[in-house]
Amino acid sequence: MKKVLDLRIILSERVAANCVKLVAAPVEGPLPECKAGQFAQLRADVPGAFLRRPISIHDIEGDRISFLVQEVGEGSRWLASRQEGDIVNAVLPLGHGFTIGDEHSALLVGGGVGVAPLLLLGRRLKAKGIKPTFLLGGRSAGNLMCLDAYREVGEVLITTEDGSLGERGFVTQHSSLNSKLSTLNCLYTCGPTPMMKAVARLARERGIPCEASLENHMACGVGACLCCVEQLADGHNHCVCTDGPVFNINDLKW
Ligand SMILES: Cc1cc2nc3c(=O)[nH]c(=O)nc-3n(C[C@H](O)[C@H](O)[C@H](O)COP(=O)(O)OP(=O)(O)OC[C@H]3O[C@@H](n4cnc5c(N)ncnc54)[C@H](O)[C@@H]3O)c2cc1C
Ligand code: FES
pLDDT of the residue at 126: 95
Q: Using 50, 70 and 90 to split pLDDT, how confident is the model at 101?
A: confident
pLDDT of the residue at 205: 93
Q: Using 50, 70 and 90 to split pLDDT, how confident is the model at 59?
A: very high
pLDDT of the residue at 175: 94
Lowest mean pLDDT among 67-81, 92-106, 237-251: 92-106
* SS3 of residue 12 by DSSP: strand
49 lines ligand 1 (CB under 6 A): yes
| Average pLDDT of the residues in 72-88 | 96
Domains of the chain: which residue ranges?
A: 3-94, 105-213
Residues 228-244: tens digit of each pLDDT:
999 999 999 999 999 99
Integer Cα distance of 192 and 109 in angstroms: 11
Index of the ligand 1 atom closest to the CA of residue 71:
26
pLDDT at 60 over 80: yes
Q: Which ligand is nearest to the CA of 243?
A: 2
94 lines ligand 1 (CB under 6 A): no
Residue range 105-213 in CATH 3.40.50.80 = yes
Higher pLDDT, 60 or 103: 60
Among 53, 37, 38, 114, CA closest to 89 = 53
| Average pLDDT of the residues in 128-141 | 94
Task: Give the predicted TM-score (pTM) of the model.
Answer: 0.95
Query: Which listed CATH number (1.10.1740.10, 3.10.20.30, 2.40.30.10, 3.30.300.160) goes with 3-94?
Result: 2.40.30.10
Q: Using 50, 70 and 90 to split pLDDT, how confident is the model at 254?
A: confident
pLDDT at 91 over 80: yes
pLDDT of the residue at 136: 97
Residues 24-44: tens digit of each pLDDT:
999 999 999 999 999 999 999
pLDDT of the residue at 63: 94
Q: Which ligand is nearest to the CA of 244?
A: 1
Among 84, 72, 76, 70, CA closest to 23 = 84
Give the amino acid at 200.
Answer: A
- Residue 131 Cα, ligand 1 centroid: separation in angstroms? 30
- Residue 77 Cα, ligand 2 centroid: separation in angstroms? 22
Index of the ligand 1 atom closest to the CA of residue 77:
26
pLDDT of the residue at 2: 75
Among 139, 135, 4, 11, CA closest to 69 = 11
pLDDT of the residue at 184: 87
- Residue 180 Cα, ligand 1 centroid: separation in angstroms? 31
Give the amino acid at 141.
Answer: A
- Residue 128 Cα, ligand 1 centroid: separation in angstroms? 31
Alpha helices in the chain (DSSP H): 74-80, 116-127, 147-153, 177-183, 193-206, 240-243
- Residue 137 Cα, ligand 2 centroid: separation in angstroms? 29
pLDDT at 223 over 80: yes
Q: Which ligand is nearest to the CA of 245?
A: 1
Angle at 125 between CA 213 and CA 173, to 5 degrees: 55
Enumerate residues 6+ apart whose C-beta is below 8 A from 189.
108, 109, 110, 114, 195, 196, 199, 200, 210, 211, 212, 213
233 lines ligand 2 (CB under 6 A): no
Bridge-based pairing of strands 131-138 and 155-160 is: parallel
Are 59 and 119 within 8 A, CB to CB? yes
pLDDT of the residue at 212: 98
